[in-house]
Amino acid sequence: MTLPPLIPGRLVKRYKRFLADVALEDGSLVTAHCPNSGSMLGCNLPGLPVMLSLSPNPNRKLAYTWELVQVGGFWVGLNTMLPNRLAEEAILDGTISELQGYRQLRREVPYGSERSRIDILLEGDQGRCFVEVKNVTLVADGLALFPDAVTERGQKHLRELIEVVKNGARGVILFTVQRGDGRAVAPADVIDPTYGRLLREAVVQGVEALAYRALVSPEQIRLTERLAVQLD
């Protein structure tokens, strides 16, 4: 995925979940939209280098969007609108080898008893595969951890995937790690123990847990390699 030209700056503060004040290189201060509703633990420290996109829409309330932050020498992709597109690209170009062989790919398809929308639905002669995509930005002690805040929505998605598998289809939880310094993915049990328990239960019930790391730069983001998912 090629990114639009980005504007460098330094984070001043992130607040009200969806707002961030950023000091640009010319000394001006702008307020940018933060397209990430999580806690962004470790990624929202004042002074960190950031990259913003600038919308061409003159009627938009906030012209800037916070796209990247640099942590420990690695660029981290924050925009939670991108992982589904990253996953779709990586399926279509063959990068995610585990999700090949399907004739059709659809996005945001309604499913389940809790009225969810699956991020990606794959269909083919081998049946249907429901893929739920999660964005991972938190790394601690070399492990990429999800979630970075309690997520009732994420818990619901795991319950839906368990039902999908019980009904004879394939269910996959796909963690997209938008940073380069995590050696594996694990549930953040300290942050959301219920999610960790449900993830382990889902895997026991037949839901597949996959994780792929993204190569993130100010020019492009793309999924490149599979990471292990550690549930022990």
List the structure tokens of 121: 């639905």
Q: How far is CA 77 from CA 71, 80, 201, 205, 218, in A?
A: 11, 8, 29, 31, 9
In the predicted structure, residue 116 carries a pLDDT above the cut 90? no
Mean pLDDT of the chain: 96
In the predicted structure, residue 210 carries a pLDDT above the cut 90? yes
In the predicted structure, residue 164 carries a pLDDT above the cut 90? yes
Q: What pLDDT digit, counting tens, does each position of 167-184 carry?
A: 999 999 999 999 999 899
Percent of the chain with pLDDT over 90: 96
> Could you report how far apart the first and last alpha carbons of the chain are, in Å?
33
Give me the domains of the chain, ranges plus CATH numbers.
7-77 (2.40.50.580), 83-229 (3.40.1350.60)
Q: List CB contacts of 88: < 8 A, sequence separation 6 or more.
A: 105, 107, 120
Separation of alpha carbons 215 and 77, rounded Å: 9
Q: What pLDDT digit, counting tens, does each position of 15-70 carry?
A: 999 999 999 999 999 999 999 999 999 999 999 999 999 999 999 999 999 999 99
- Give the pTM: 0.94
Name beta bridge partners: 209.
Answer: 173
